[in-house]
Amino acid sequence: MLQFEIDVAAAIPAEASNDPDVLFDLGIVCSSGRTGVVDLVSAHKWFNLAALKGRSDAVSMRREIAAMMSDAEIALAQREARAWVTTH
């Protein structure tokens, strides 16, 4: 059996990461409903941020998600992405 300890004091939430792979993975989680609910606004935001940080495949994922969203939802996702950039 594998046992290990996590240093919670040193851990940072995935949402605070600047790693494009982590941001991309958050987009996958939100778009797939792995947490129980599909959240296209959040998925678009994370794919947008991953693309901004250099993850090229995030662009096509963001485009695919945007095709399922209303203009208002896309605008909200873009506002949330800008807010994330200003705080991180």
Q: Where are the alpha helices (H) located in the chain, listed in sequence order?
A: 20-32, 40-52, 57-66, 71-87
Q: Which residue range is the domain that position 43 belongs to?
A: 18-87
Query: Can you give the pLDDT at residue 58?
Result: 97
- Residue 36 gets the label, from left (phi > 0), alpha (psi -120 to 50) or beta, of left
Structural domain tally of the chain?
Answer: 1
Residue 68 forms part of a structural domain: yes
Q: How far apart are CA 42 and CA 73, in angstroms?
A: 10
Residue 9 forms part of a structural domain: no
Lowest mean pLDDT among 11-15, 62-66, 73-77: 11-15
Count of CA atoms in the C-beta half-sphere (13 A) of 1: 1
Place of tokens 């994330």: 84
Residue 10 forms part of a structural domain: no
pLDDT level of residue 18 (50, 70, 90 thresholds): confident
Query: Can you give the pLDDT at residue 8?
Result: 45
Residue 26 forms part of a structural domain: yes
pLDDT digits (tens, 9 = 90+) for 19-63: 999 999 999 999 998 878 899 999 999 999 999 999 999 999 999
Query: Can you give the pLDDT at residue 21?
Result: 93
Residue 34 forms part of a structural domain: yes
Residue 3 forms part of a structural domain: no
Residue 4 forms part of a structural domain: no
Residue 63 forms part of a structural domain: yes
pLDDT level of residue 7 (50, 70, 90 thresholds): low
